[in-house]
Amino acid sequence: MSLSTTRFEVLSFPFELTTDDKEFFDEFLELNSALTLPGNGKLPQVQYSVIKNTKYFCIRENGKFRNRWAHRWPLYLSVMMCVRDCLYLHLKEYLFLHSGALAKNNKAVLLPGPSESGKSTLTLGLLNYGYRYLTDEVVVIDLSDLRVLPFQRPIYIYGWHSVVSAEVEKYFKFYRFKERYGNTMQPWQYAVPQQEAILPKDTNFEVGWIVFPTYNKTQKDSYLKPVSRAEAAFNLMQNGWNMQRFNDCGLKVCSELVKKADCYRLIMGDLKEACELIEGLTGNAPVSVKSEALESIWKRKALL
Amino acid sequence: MQSLKKRSDLLVEEIEDEVVIYDPRTHYVHHLNPMASIIWELFDVSPSPRDIAKEIVDVLKTDLSNVEKDVLETLDKLQRKGILE
């Protein structure tokens, strides 16, 4: 059995992965290229192993069984969910929010919301308007200055069609694969930020806008509704990944964040209109982005 | 209702004219709208629903019985959420 091992850091926290599956190992390195840094000589605090026995790939964390899969495709997500949980547990200097985030003109737009609220779709849509990708799922707030750090994990997208304009496409590499749901195989892809889109790990942004998206499939248009700062703080608390770690300071951090930002709820039926509304909010004249490639993206409103 | 009091372990933030409360016991968060926030504040002055209603009526110049009903409902909700006990 030939083993491959890599050491990597996420938010300076050291991990190690060992596997006997070369294909998964290569995929792991590729998909993580924007999110992680190579290990920096620190001893890994958490070690993962992904070893294939006769039937399953078995995932262990520091020797303890975590999960097993019959196929290769869930392995990356599964290991990275363990990594994410580990960060929430160990890093007390960051608040983690369930939120998408993009940056433009040195300010960040946060898109907090539960699963299927439209965070990833909106994140993809806004890339076409010149926003820098920070994350589609995990916003990292540095508690020392309340600024947002990039957490550039691959964007997980349903379907194999083009999701961004040709202009934006060159900043991402797309990995297509199929996942089994019941008896059918469904097409998915990862969009991995490439060199030009990768932000230095110490880059940070002030939060300028907090927009809570809500996808409504029965609605044809999109609209923005201002929310009070108290309601915004309440909603941020609801979308905290590690809020219970902080007790007293979690509420204070959310209160301070909303005091600095303009807060809205976005009821989203039409993605293109939703993007233009945010573009208008951030101080830029709403620009209409039209192209043939983009038409498929705007039609993705049902595919969150 | 007279014996109700605010729990001392709650974390409370007043943001503009509304209140957000974090319950460290349950990890639940509660958001009080402007009227509930006023009732929450006035509860410190007097826990009596009638006294709270009178204070509100003095400012809003509205019907006491309606306001008292709203105050009672609000205090009942706060009690059911476990932030008054």
Average pLDDT estimate for A252-262: 94
Q: How far does B27 lie from chain A, in Å, by closest CA?
A: 6
Structure tokens at A63: 């020797």
Q: Does B51 have pLDDT greater than 70? A: yes
Q: Does A285 have pLDDT greater than 80? A: no
Shortest CA distance to B84 belongs to which of B15, B3, B18? Answer: B3
| Calpha distance A126→B83 (Å, rounded) | 41
Quote the percentage of chain A above a pLDDT of 70: 93
Count of domains observed in chain A: 2
Q: How far does B38 lie from chain A, in Å, by closest CA?
A: 14
Expressed as residue numbers, the domain containing A122 is 94-298
Whether A304 maps to a domain, the answer reads no
- Can you give the pLDDT at residue A149? 97
Whether A247 maps to a domain, the answer reads yes
Average pLDDT estimate for B30-58: 93
Whether A72 maps to a domain, the answer reads yes
Domain end residue (candidates: A63, A90, A117): A90
Structure tokens at A195: 């060199």
Q: Are residues A118 and A240 in the same domain?
A: yes
Contacts B16 to A, Cβ<8 Å:
228-230
* 3-state SS, residue B41: helix
Q: How far does A250 lie from chain B, in Å, by closest CA?
A: 9
Cβ of A251 under 8 Å from any chain B Cβ? yes
- Can you give the pLDDT at residue A201? 87
Average pLDDT estimate for A35-55: 93
- Can you give the pLDDT at residue A296? 58
For residues B63 and A91, which has the higher predicted lDDT (pLDDT)?
Answer: A91
Domain end residue (candidates: A57, A90, A123): A90
Positions of E strands within A171-217 = 172-181, 184-193, 206-215
| Calpha distance A186→A195 (Å, rounded) | 29
Query: What ipTM was predicted for this assembly?
Result: 0.89
- Can you give the pLDDT at residue A297? 56
Q: Are residues A215 and A123 in the same domain?
A: yes
Cβ of A227 under 8 Å from any chain B Cβ? no
Q: Are residues A59 and A143 in the same domain?
A: no
Q: Are residues A130 and A188 in the same domain?
A: yes
Domain end residue (candidates: A52, A74, A90): A90
**Structure pTM?**
0.90
Q: Are A144 and A92 spatial neighbours (Cβ–Cβ below 8 Å)?
A: no
Average pLDDT estimate for B40-45: 93
Q: Are residues A228 and A293 in the same domain?
A: yes
Q: Are residues A109 and A136 in the same domain?
A: yes
Q: Does A291 have pLDDT greater than 80? A: no
Helix (H) or strand (E) holding A262: strand A262-268
Q: Which residue's entry shows tokens 């060199």?
A: A195
Burial label, A215 (beta-carbon count in 10 A; 0-12, 13-18, 19+): buried
Q: Are A289 and A239 spatial neighbours (Cβ–Cβ below 8 Å)?
A: no
Q: Are residues A255 and A287 in the same domain?
A: yes
* 3-state SS, residue A154: coil
* A69 phi, psi to nearest 5 deg: -140, 145
Q: Are A45 and A30 spatial neighbours (Cβ–Cβ below 8 Å)?
A: no
Contacts A234 to B, Cβ<8 Å:
20, 29-31
Q: Are the beta carbons of B16 and A250 separated by less than 8 Å? A: no
Whether A303 maps to a domain, the answer reads no
Interface test with A, best of B12, B19, B31 (most A CBs within 10 A): B31
Q: Are residues A188 and A59 in the same domain?
A: no
Q: Are residues A208 and A162 in the same domain?
A: yes
Q: Which residues neighbour B3 within 8 Å (Cβ) at sequence distance 6 or greater? A: none
- Can you give the pLDDT at residue A14? 97
| Calpha distance A68→A70 (Å, rounded) | 7
DSSP β-ladder status, A138-142 and A172-181: unpaired
